[in-house]
Amino acid sequence: MSDIVLSEQNHAFIRSQKWEVAVLPFGATEPHNFHMPYGTDNYEVDVVGRRVCEYAYKKGAKVLLLPTMPFGVNTNHLKVPGALALSVTPTTLLKVLSDLVEALERQGIRKLMLLNGHGGNELKPLTRELFHRTKMFLCVCDWYKVGADQFKEIFVAPGEHADELETSMGLAYFPQFLKMDQAGPGIGRKTRFDAVNKGWVGLTRPWHLLTDDTGVGDPSTAAAEKGRKLMEVVEKRIGDFLVELAKTEMDEKFPF
């Protein structure tokens, strides 16, 4: 049981604290190659959320971890043969977020971090939509981008989905759900457009045409130790930011 996990705490404790920041994780339920569980993004963002909130709490910041939203945007996964991705649209995420922001704001929370663990969830536009409708401070963190400058040190060839990075996280934090002997090669195809492949034209890719095993990135070089190394970086960086955010007064020039 942890002080900072809302779903594990009772009302007697929660009401006795003055919570400065809440962290709301967003995941997804979708196939992750043949070797990782459908809940991969949720398990990852759960453990990252728990670690960063505990880190900040130990340094005196009143940071509370909210339950993970387990359904993400998978509109482009629905033609993968045999798959059962539980997709919601971006509009639904906006509605869920709007309702939770209103509920939290009415109950005195003033700062909220959206902690994202799934590439299909684009949360920043949602905060733009709510910007003039709430006094709450909203910020977004895609946890898997936080340590990007360290990828070369830690990984051989990080990919995109159920790759070396995600598989390493799985081996470190939820190994009981991994079946490494079933992993496919995770080969992601290029589109026929150079501009798209280079990244300066963006699009939503039909997943069943992108990859045969739903993975993008070779998982074969993954190791638990690599997942723990990445977590060290992520925990300290997000944790330190949360401490800073909790301690900073929201005056009229905030966040400047």
Cβ(196)–Cβ(227) under 8 Å?
no
Nearest approach, Cβ of residue 117 and Zn ion (Å): 7
Return the number of the residue (40 or 127) whose C-beta is nearest Zn ion: 40
- What residue has token string 């299909």? 120
Between CA 173 and CA 224 the distance in angstroms is: 8
Nearest approach, Cβ of residue 118 and Zn ion (Å): 6
Residue nearest to Zn ion (CB): 41
- What residue has token string 């998982």? 219
Between CA 31 and CA 82 the distance in angstroms is: 10
Nearest approach, Cβ of residue 241 and Zn ion (Å): 22
- Residue 82's contacts (CB-CB under 8 Å, 6 or more residues apart) are none
Return the number of the residue (20 or 41) whose C-beta is nearest Zn ion: 41
CA distances to 159, 177, 212, 214, 242 from 80, rounded to whole Å, are: 19, 21, 9, 8, 38
Nearest approach, Cβ of residue 45 and Zn ion (Å): 9
Query: Looking at residue 254, what DSSP letter applies?
Result: T
End-to-end Cα separation, the chain, in angstroms: 37
Cβ(213)–Cβ(185) under 8 Å?
yes
Q: Annotate each residue in 21-40 with x if it binds Zn ion (CB under 5 A) or - if it does not, as one string.
A: -------------------x
Number of residues that bind Zn ion (CB under 5 A): 2
Return the number of the residue (41 or 218) whose C-beta is nearest Zn ion: 41
- Residue 189's contacts (CB-CB under 8 Å, 6 or more residues apart) are 209, 210, 211
Return the number of the residue (31 or 239) whose C-beta is nearest Zn ion: 31
Return the number of the residue (26 or 57) whose C-beta is nearest Zn ion: 26
Nearest approach, Cβ of residue 149 and Zn ion (Å): 20
Nearest approach, Cβ of residue 53 and Zn ion (Å): 21
Stretch that binds Zn ion, among 13-21, 41-49, 53-61, 204-212 (CB under 5 A): 41-49
Cβ(38)–Cβ(32) under 8 Å?
yes
Return the number of the residue (72 or 239) whose C-beta is nearest Zn ion: 72
Element at 42 (helix H, strand E):
helix 40-58
Return the number of the residue (170 or 239) whose C-beta is nearest Zn ion: 170
* Phi, psi angles (nearest 5°) of residue 253: -95, -5
Is residue 142 a contact point for Zn ion (CB under 5 A)? no
Nearest approach, Cβ of residue 228 and Zn ion (Å): 18
Among 19, 23, 27, 41, binds Zn ion (CB under 5 A): 41
Q: Whose CA is closest to 173, among 40, 53, 70, 65?
A: 40
For binding to Zn ion (CB under 5 A), which residues are involved? 40-41
